[in-house]
Amino acid sequence: MLFDIHTHLNAEQFEEDLDEVIERAREAGVSSMVVVGFDRPTIRKTMELIERYDHLYGCIGWHPVDAVDMREEDLAWIEQLSRHPKIVAIGETGLDYHWDKSPKDVQKAVFREQIRLAKKLSLPIMIHNREATEDVIQILKEEHAEETGGIMHCFSGSPEIAKECIKMNFFISLGGPVTFKNGKQAKEVAKEVPLAYLLLETDCPYLAPHPFRGKRNEPAYVRYVAEEIARIKGLPLEEIAEITANNARKIFKIADGKG
Provide the Cα torsion 63, 84, 55, 1; round to 10°.
70
Q: Which helix (H) or strand (E) holds 19?
A: helix 18-27
Q: Which helix (H) or strand (E) holds 36?
A: strand 30-37
What's the DSSP call for residue 68? G
Whole-angstrom distance, CA of residue 14 vs CA of residue 18: 5
CA-nearest of 12, 87, 6, 105 to 50 is 87
Q: 253: phi > 0 → left, psi -120 to 50 → alpha, else beta; which?
A: left
CA–CA distance from 193 to each of 109, 160, 185, 214 (Å)?
A: 30, 9, 12, 27
CA angle 227, 19, 30 (to 5 degrees): 25
Residue 92 counted as an annotated binding residue: yes
Question: Cβ(173)–Cβ(154) under 8 Å?
Answer: yes
Residue 128 counted as an annotated binding residue: yes
Residue 98 counted as an annotated binding residue: no
Residue 210 counted as an annotated binding residue: no
- Indicate the annotated binding residues for a divalent metal cation: 6, 8, 92, 128, 153, 203
- Indicate the annotated binding residues: 6, 8, 92, 128, 153, 203
